Amino acid sequence: MDLDPQLYEGMPEPVRKAWERSLTSGRAAMSRRRLLRLGSLATGGAALAACGIPPAAGSRGGNEPEDTPDHSKKERVLNFANWPLYIDVDDKNKKKRPTLDRFMRESGIKVKYVEDINDNNEFYGKIKPQLAAGQDTGRDLVCLTDWMAGRLIRQGWAQRLDPARMPNAVANLEDRFRTAAQDPGRQYSYPWAGIACVVAYNKKATGGKKVTSVSQLLEDESLKGKVSMLTEMTDTVGMTMLDLGIDPEKFDGDDFDRAVARIQKAVDGKQLRRFSGNDYIDELSSGDIAACLAWAGDVVQLKLDNPDIEFAIPESGYRFATDDLLVPAKARHRANAEELINYYYDPKVAAELTAWVNYICPVSGAKAEMEKIDKDLAEDPLIFPDARTAGRGKAFRPMSDKEQARYENKFAKLIGA
């Protein structure tokens, strides 16, 4: 279909595509199908055929600021969905969240903070029906890993943010995060934290042996039955690719299969105990798991509680991702969300948050602030990686939806489900 070029001027390619798609398979297409459904319901026998699940991008809400009326001025509230243990809490009173409480006091915005994201795909399954129906998900700000954030952006389910309302974020975002493949130019999303996937091990459980590579996880006989990998496909497969010398930023289908075959061998040989989400933490600490793939922020925290926990950044490199904040389509309080993003991009606040969360901080200037809070953390390569370490972190290249489905399917079979 011919579109006036002026209409999509300045839009990044994926956004423009999503936008075009909505015009060709949007509301109009929907209603025709609905009509069909009514007709064949009457004929009875063909009723089954009339059902069907409309395309995900079928009835999107629109992602331009003027598409969704913003109620931020009248309603000083913000519904913020995040992962568990992903914000600073007061040591004495776990119900108090110092940086968030200060934001509420200063801005007068009441933040309803809910920790209901446990898995990207699972959360997507939860909010997708509302998004597909063009409804408000009840969440104004969500935190999703880059590839999933990209999926929402591609489908037109994220609202474009107004840089003028977030001067801190625009000024302080570290340069290396500005050109993210899923959101070039950062029009829709800003990183909350960066996550490195590394190898972690329990010294006591390995008998003092160092575990420094994925090869060792998959093949070292002495670790048999005491190794876990992550249910996050991009991390587990990405780390294995790196170990095989494949760049996860530009792999192809064969590369993917090779990595999966390698892990499959370890599954069949009962080398791998299980694939886990965040719940590897307890087992690594107790020694049921001797060595595993782990997220760096978890490791920093675990080390504080259990001196036996060690980590290693494999020589072959490591997987790096960001968890990005974005405003879902039809959310009522975009301006409030922008205010919160801006607040967390103040280096002082960012340092305070990072001192507790221990994930990689995307805010430049935060390291200097961190030195005032905790010198050790400011020096920790898992939180403020030096240029060389940062350079070894590899993203998982964006995948088309079809590819994504195919890879997730192979991975699901691999992890035994």
Partner 1 sequence: MSAPAVPASAGAPPPSGPEPHGSGSSGPSDGAVAGAAARPRRRLTPYWLLLPAGLWLAVFFVAPFFYQASTSVQSGSLEEGFRVTWDFTNYTDALATYAPHFLRSFLYAASATVLCLLIGYPLAYMIAFRAGRWRGLLLVMVIAPFFTSFLIRTLAWKTILSDAGPVVGVLKSVHILDVTSQLGLTGDERLLATPLAVVCGLTYNFLPFMILPLYSSLERIDLSLHEAARDLYAKPATVFRKVTFPLSLPGVVAGTLLTFIPASGDYINAQLLGSPNTQMVGNAIQKQFLNVLDYPAAAAMSFILMAIILIVVSVYMRKAGTEELV
Site residues (vs partner 1, CB under 8 A): 25, 47-58, 119, 121-122, 124-125, 155, 224-226, 267, 270, 272-275, 282-283, 286-288, 401-402, 405, 408-409, 412-417
Q: Tell me the closest approach of the beta carbon of residue 135 to partner 1, in angstroms.
A: 18
- What residues contact 21, with CB distance under 8 A and at least 6 apart? 57
What is the distance between the alpha carbons of residues 339 and 71, in angstroms, rounded to a whole number?
A: 14
What is the distance between the alpha carbons of residues 98 and 90, in angstroms, rounded to a whole number?
A: 6
Do 42 and 215 touch, CB atoms closer than 8 A? no
Rg over alpha carbons for the chain, rounded to the nearest Å, is 23
Q: Which is nearer to partner 1, 180 or 414 (CB)?
A: 414
Q: Tell me the closest approach of the beta carbon of residue 209 to partner 1, in angstroms.
A: 17
Do 378 and 226 touch, CB atoms closer than 8 A? no
**DSSP per-residue letters across 173-213:** B-GGGTT-TTSTT-SSEEEEEEEEEEEEEEHHHHTT----S
Q: Tell me the closest approach of the beta carbon of residue 69 to partner 1, in angstroms.
A: 27
Return the H-helix or E-strand segment holding 155: none
Q: Which is nearer to partner 1, 88 or 232 (CB)?
A: 232
Q: Which is nearer to partner 1, 155 or 189 (CB)?
A: 155
Q: Tell me the closest approach of the beta carbon of residue 95 to partner 1, in angstroms.
A: 21
Residues belonging to the chain: 417
Q: Which is nearer to partner 1, 121 or 179 (CB)?
A: 121
Q: Tell me the closest approach of the beta carbon of residue 360 to partner 1, in angstroms.
A: 25
Q: Which is nearer to partner 1, 292 or 370 (CB)?
A: 292
Q: Tell me the closest approach of the beta carbon of residue 21 to partner 1, in angstroms.
A: 9
Q: Tell me the closest approach of the beta carbon of residue 224 to partner 1, in angstroms.
A: 7
Do 292 and 206 touch, CB atoms closer than 8 A? no
- What residues contact 131, with CB distance under 8 A and at least 6 apart? 60, 61, 137, 152, 155, 157, 328, 329, 330
Q: Tell me the closest approach of the beta carbon of residue 253 to partner 1, in angstroms.
A: 17
**Is residue 119 classed exposed, middle or buried when 0-12, 13-18 and 19+ CB atoms within 10 A define those classes?**
middle
Q: Which is nearer to partner 1, 48 or 164 (CB)?
A: 48
Q: Which is nearer to partner 1, 155 or 322 (CB)?
A: 155
Do 87 and 340 touch, CB atoms closer than 8 A? no
Q: Tell me the closest approach of the beta carbon of residue 52 to partner 1, in angstroms.
A: 5
3-state secondary structure labels for all residues of 1-22: CCCCHHHHCCCCHHHHHHHHHH
Q: Which is nearer to partner 1, 47 or 114 (CB)?
A: 47
Q: Which is nearer to partner 1, 178 or 413 (CB)?
A: 413
Return the H-helix or E-strand segment holding 234: helix 233-243
Return the H-helix or E-strand segment holding 338: helix 334-344
Q: Tell me the closest approach of the beta carbon of residue 345 to partner 1, in angstroms.
A: 32
Query: What is the torsion angle, in degrees rounded to the nearest 10, for the CA atoms of residue 66, residue 69, residue 75 and residue 76?
Result: -20
Amino acid at 274: R
